[in-house]
A and B are shown apart, each in its own frame.
Chain A
Amino acid sequence: MWAWIHRFGSPRYFYAFAGKLLPWLAVPCIILFAVGLYLGLVVAPGDYEQGESYRIIYVHVPSAWMSMFVYVLMAVFATIGLIWRVKLAEVMATASAPIGASFTFLALVTGSIWGKPMWGTWWVWDARLTSELILLFLYFGFMALQSAIGDRQTAWRAASILLLVGVVNIPIIHYSVEWWYTLHQPATIAKFGKPSIHVSMLIPLLVMAVAFKLFYFTVLMSRVRAEILQRERRTNWVRELVSGGEL
């Protein structure tokens, strides 16, 4: 068991493994995106109150889910990296950060595009939007810290501590913002309160959620492969790979 984990965690083995895994992630991802978008944009009925513009939900909600999922996953990688000193965990978290930040940014942008017709303004200090904005700052902090410290080992371990502190803080931030919001702005956007969603809208949403997750892992695997190659560029196996013309 341990031998297997060690072999799995070695960059060389994982490079090959990720390469084999890539098509199995990418192809279902594309299929699910096609199905989900077709169901969501064509098949699903228009919303009673919001008309057609609610359809941005099929991008907005999955990216908001992913933004939180990726951060928590990065914290898991940070824990693994800090406790067992697995090199691969560092590569995974480092490669995840820009993807997670992009999901967060996408959620903010789509939220504000959605907000324009619904609330009549691009930005509302809504509790969820605000927490999402803070999450984006946390991603930026992680990336900034990691790029600021020269020594890579130190940078990674400092950034992992920041990730863990962030994960402890996220629920606190979320609830404080939610509470602040209810105190400051009573029910200006009550119609955003989620009605129980109809099945014909729920299914495309779930399909899109799975597609987003597969998309994340597809991008993650290719980024991890690139990162491994860059980090291991002085090792023999990478040189053989390059001179053998496999790249």
Chain B
Amino acid sequence: MRNVPSDSGKAGVRMDSIYLPLVRRDLTLATRTPSQWINPLLFFLIAVSLFPLGVGPDPNRLSEIAAGVIWVAALLATMLSQDSLFRTDFEDGCLEQMLTSPHPVILIVAAKVSAHWLLTGLPLILLSPLLAVLMGLSFEGWRALFFTLTLGTPILSLLGALGAALVVSVKRGGVLLSLLVLPLCIPVLIFSTTAVQTASVGLPIEGHLSLLGALLALSVTLAPVAIAGALSVTGGGN
């Protein structure tokens, strides 16, 4: 909590009182330990490039499974990076300080999740052209992949943060986190991959994107409440 001025809470609920400083702090911390956010990205790249080796280099078959492969790898990469979202703050006591501070927990949660998305979701989106080339996706397919990743990765970050908040006190909770969160991510996976496949055959995908957007709206409004509730249960003290 070094970067948060101690008297800022008295000014009431203002976004810049806690949200921006906390996002900046998390990004600063990430630049000092780059492996924390680069490793999941490398995992993502390697996992995707294993599939052509596994199923054969036939471009037609690859472009058929591209959407599913990229999205499942994105899911797993997000889960991999989520484990540390609250863990380090929990272990050095920062989390407890944040929870006892006068700032609303929901804003703290929103800041942590935003920072996490900037470090994992955004790079995935930026990597998507490379993956589209690797997996033989057409331009329409890549565009759909781009849109679904843009709408879908924030949902993954939110759901993963919920899992991370629930297992924060569990030693080696990474596998448990995946067990809890992956079933909840299935709708995102379904809508995204069908959107990419629909786009690849030249059909409109607005319907899929609208549904993804609805899921995003729902999770942006509801998930922080659940995450805040979970943190206040599990995050208080060792």
- On A, residues with C-beta under 8 Å from B are 134, 137-138, 140-141, 144-145, 148-150, 154, 157-158, 161-162, 164-166, 168-169, 172-173, 176-177, 179-180, 183
B183–A134 touching, CB < 8 Å: yes
How far, in whole Å, are A140 and B229 apart by their CA atoms in the complex? 21
B233–A154 touching, CB < 8 Å: yes
A-B contact count (CB 8 A): 65
10 closest pairs, A vs B, by CB? A176-B187, A137-B183, A157-B233, A180-B190, A141-B180, A176-B190, A148-B170, A158-B166, A161-B230, A134-B183
Answer yes or no: B29 CB below 8 A from chain A CBs: no
Q: How many residues of B contact A (CB 8 A)?
A: 24
Q: Is the interface of B mostly helix, strand, loop or mixed?
A: helix
B234–A154 touching, CB < 8 Å: yes
Determine the chain B residues whose CB is within 8 A of the CB of A168 once the complex forms: 222
- On B, residues with C-beta under 8 Å from A are 162, 166-167, 169-170, 173, 176, 179-180, 182-184, 186-187, 190-191, 194, 215, 222, 226, 229-230, 233-234
B166–A145 touching, CB < 8 Å: yes
A165–B162 touching, CB < 8 Å: yes
How far, in whole Å, are A147 and B226 apart by their CA atoms in the complex? 20
Q: Is the interface of A mostly helix, strand, loop or mixed?
A: helix
Chain A residue with Cβ nearest B215 = A172
Determine the chain A residues whose CB is within 8 A of the CB of B226 once the complex forms: 161, 164-165
Chain A residue with Cβ nearest B182 = A137
How far, in whole Å, are A141 and B179 apart by their CA atoms in the complex? 6
Known contacts A154-B169, A154-B234, A173-B184; 14 additional CB pairs below 8 A are A137-B179, A137-B182, A141-B179, A141-B180, A145-B167, A145-B176, A148-B167, A149-B170, A162-B180, A165-B184, A165-B226, A172-B187, A179-B190, A180-B190
Cβ contact of B234, chosen from A158, A164, A172, cutoff 8 A: A158
Chain A residue with Cβ nearest B159 = A165
Report if A177-B184 is in contact (Cβ < 8 Å); known contacts: A140-B179, A161-B166, A164-B226.
no
A176–B180 touching, CB < 8 Å: no
24 A-B interface contacts by CB (under 8 A)? A134-B183, A137-B183, A145-B166, A145-B167, A148-B170, A148-B173, A149-B167, A149-B170, A150-B169, A154-B233, A154-B234, A158-B233, A158-B234, A161-B230, A162-B166, A164-B226, A168-B222, A172-B215, A173-B183, A173-B184, A176-B186, A176-B190, A177-B190, A180-B190
